[in-house]
């Protein structure tokens, strides 16, 4: 069974710090990886996706992918209280089919 694992947290960081969120996946053939942010009572919002090994940066967010270790992470620089949310890691192990496997999510708390 294809699985995506995340530490449920909560991960607590002070305002201005770097938050590091981690995700591992079981299917070595997975090709695309996604990070979503979900505020309580809201639908998931796509932060960014990554297909290739290495880093991908978008503003304060950096996604890091290591396919050999089956590991993907999200770094949030200069964390703000508004970043407090649940972060969902999703993996597409089926090629370009849109069938995403989601982790359980990590709750991030950014304290002023």
Partner 1 sequence: SAVISQKPSRDICQRGTSLTIQCQVDSQVTMMFWYRQQPGQSLTLIATANQGSEATYESGFVIDKFPISRPNLTFSTLTVSNMSPEDSSIYLCSVDERGGYTFGSGTRLTVV
- Binding region for partner 1 (CB under 8 A): 32, 34, 36, 42-46, 48-49, 51, 88, 90, 96-100, 102-105
- Residue 25 φ/ψ, nearest 5 degrees: -135, 155
Nearer to partner 1, 17 or 38 (CB): 38
Q: Closest distance between partner 1 and the C-beta of residue 31, in Å?
A: 11
> 3-class DSSP state for residue 54?
strand
Nearer to partner 1, 69 or 96 (CB): 96
Nearer to partner 1, 17 or 49 (CB): 49
> 3-class DSSP state for residue 83?
helix
**DSSP 8-state assignment for residue 43:** -
Q: Closest distance between partner 1 and the C-beta of residue 75, in Å?
A: 19
Strands 61-66 and 54-58: antiparallel
């Amino acid at each position: 069974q294809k699985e995506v694992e995340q530490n449920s947290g909560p991960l607590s960081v002070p305002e201005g710090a770097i938050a590091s969120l981690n995700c591992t996946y079981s299917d070595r053939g997975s090709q695309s990886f996604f990070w979503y942010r979900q505020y309580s009572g809201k639908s998931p919002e796509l932060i960014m996706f990554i297909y290739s090994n290495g880093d991908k940066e978008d503003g304060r967010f950096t996604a890091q992918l290591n396919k050999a270790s089956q590991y993907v992470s999200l770094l949030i620089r200069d964390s703000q209280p508004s970043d407090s949310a649940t972060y969902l890691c999703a993996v597409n192990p089926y090629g370009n089919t849109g069938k995403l496997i989601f982790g359980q999510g990590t709750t991030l708390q950014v304290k002023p």
